[in-house]
Structure 1
Amino acid sequence: MTAAVDNPLFARLWVVLAAHETAKIKALRMENLAGLSGRVLEIGAGAGTNFAYYPDTVTEVVAIEPEAHLLEHARAAAAAARIPVSVTEKTGEALANDPAGDEPFDAVVCSLVLCTVFEPGTVVRQAYSHLRPGGELRYLEHVASAGSRGRVQQVADATLWPRLFGNCHTHRDTESVITGAGFEVLAARHTWTMPRWAPVPVSEFAIGRAVRPS
């Protein structure tokens, strides 16, 4: 899907949420980007929250963000970043028809985005195709939970949650999508950003490193 994304209410809410992230989520963002180097493709930059956390060993970030209001904020964050960052308006699905540069990337970063895209399998396969052999996919995503929370997620996804929160689907098996695209997972773990008892469908996160085999 290549059409522009228009979620003005959610985009404005996300800008506020991004400016007030918890210390736990900030630490996860830094962990997800730690050790990166070279040229990086970031899919779904949102308000550009990641840009301040990239290490100096990264020589360039090419970021994509299809939502117009978020794009404006991402470009402002890019201008203030310590490393070169450019932000273009396109969807992850559109990378097949409009590649993000002519050379392969050393890494692709996905942070809280694979829940919102219309075709997660297509987006992850495009991430794979834009990586050099041996290049890494770094992901930080909330994922499907088991048991009663998983049932809550399924109800949320089938009702108002995606409409209210920018097409966010809380019960996606994102890690299976990643391995199904051909990636080899090197390290991954699940963590909770809120107490387990809290009735919030987006509390369980997966953070991991996957590689395009050489």
Structure 2
Amino acid sequence: MAVSHPVFARLFARASVAMDQAGVAAHRRRLVAGLHGRVVEVGAGNGRNLAHYPPAVTRVLAVEPEPLLRGLARAAAPTAPVSVTVAAGLAEALPVPDGAADAVVLSLVLCSVSDPAVALREARRVLRPGGELRFYEHVVAETPGLRRVQRVVDATLWPLVSAGCHTGRDTVAAIRAAGFTVTDLDRFRFPSTGVPAPASPHVLGTAVAPVSPR
């Protein structure tokens, strides 16, 4: 299923290059470091993570609903150091069998999905018991003042101009509510300097799916 945002997609593709140069590339490397086996990347965008997967990963299924971004990810796939297949699909309905993935990677995607709880249930469904959820997201601020700003922008134009992006989602709480155990978590601001913006608070971490069946 396609979710077409051609104007946003073009702007995002350009901005992602500048963001990587400003420090996001290092976060992408941390995000996927140490992964192995079969990986599903949800919301792969234009494929900026693909170059960073370690050789122990046997296969990446990169799922992206936006056609322009998916085409850019397909163009990037042959240069990745691991085998990559790019497919259309939604975070809320992944084209993956139950328990087929050793890891699921979420990168700057839960801010814009229509229902984060459903997307996280899907991630848990496709993970093998004890599999890893790796996440890199911008999230709700820890300070009351910036949280108020996030509520205002999320209720006005921000989601409209940013393909449904919401700045104030409590993604870590949602991951825990979906049944994952968060084992590693780094909170930081990006960019790290200047006045904090609504999308400045970020998290990067690892969570583990339950070993026992639901």
TM-score (norm 2): 0.94
1:187 is matched with 184
Q: How far, CA to CA, are the matches of 2:123 and 2:160 in structure 1? A: 26
Matched, 1:86 2:85: yes
1:75 is matched with 74
Q: How far, CA to CA, are the matches of 1:102 and 1:149 in structure 2? A: 39
Structure 2 SS opposite 1:93? coil
1:131 is matched with 127
1:10 is matched with 8
Structure 1 SS opposite 2:49? helix
C-alpha deviation, 1:147, in angstroms: 1.4
Matched, 1:150 2:147: yes
C-alpha deviation, 1:52, in angstroms: 0.3
C-alpha deviation, 1:197, in angstroms: 4.9
Distance 1:163 1:153, change over 3 A: same
In the comparison of the two structures, how many residue pairs are matched? 209
Question: Which residue among 99, 104, 127 is the counterpart of 2:100?
Answer: 104
Which ranges in structure 2 are unaligned for 5 or more consecutive residues? none
Q: How far, CA to CA, are the matches of 1:186 and 1:94 in structure 2? A: 26
Matched, 1:204 2:205: no
Matched to 1:20, the amino acid is: A
* Equivalent residues of 1:61, 1:84 under 8 A apart: yes
Matched to 1:77, the amino acid is: A
Q: How far, CA to CA, are the matches of 1:103 and 1:181 in structure 2? A: 16
Distance 1:206 1:166, change over 3 A: same
Instruction: Tell me how large the CA RMSD over aligned residues is.
Output: 1.3
* Equivalent residues of 1:48, 1:77 under 8 A apart: yes
Q: Which runs of 4+ in 1 moved over 3 A?
A: none
Deviations 1:139-193 (A, max 9, x none): 0000000311111111110011111111100000111110111000111120111
Deviations 1:88-143 (A, max 9, x none): 11111122xxx324652100000000001001100001000111111000000000
Q: How is 1:173-184 mapped onto 2 (pairs within 5 angstroms)?
A: 173-184=170-181
Question: Which residue among 168, 171, 193 is the counterpart of 1:171?
Answer: 168
* Equivalent residues of 1:196, 1:203 under 8 A apart: no
Matched to 1:166, the amino acid is: A
Q: How far, CA to CA, are the matches of 1:101 and 1:12 in structure 2? A: 32
Q: How far, CA to CA, are the matches of 2:150 and 2:101 in structure 1? A: 34
Q: How far, CA to CA, are the matches of 2:175 and 2:196 in structure 1? A: 27
* Equivalent residues of 1:42, 1:110 under 8 A apart: yes
Matched, 1:41 2:35: no
Which ranges in structure 1 are unaligned for 5 or more consecutive residues? none
Question: Which residue among 112, 115, 129 is the counterpart of 1:119?
Answer: 115
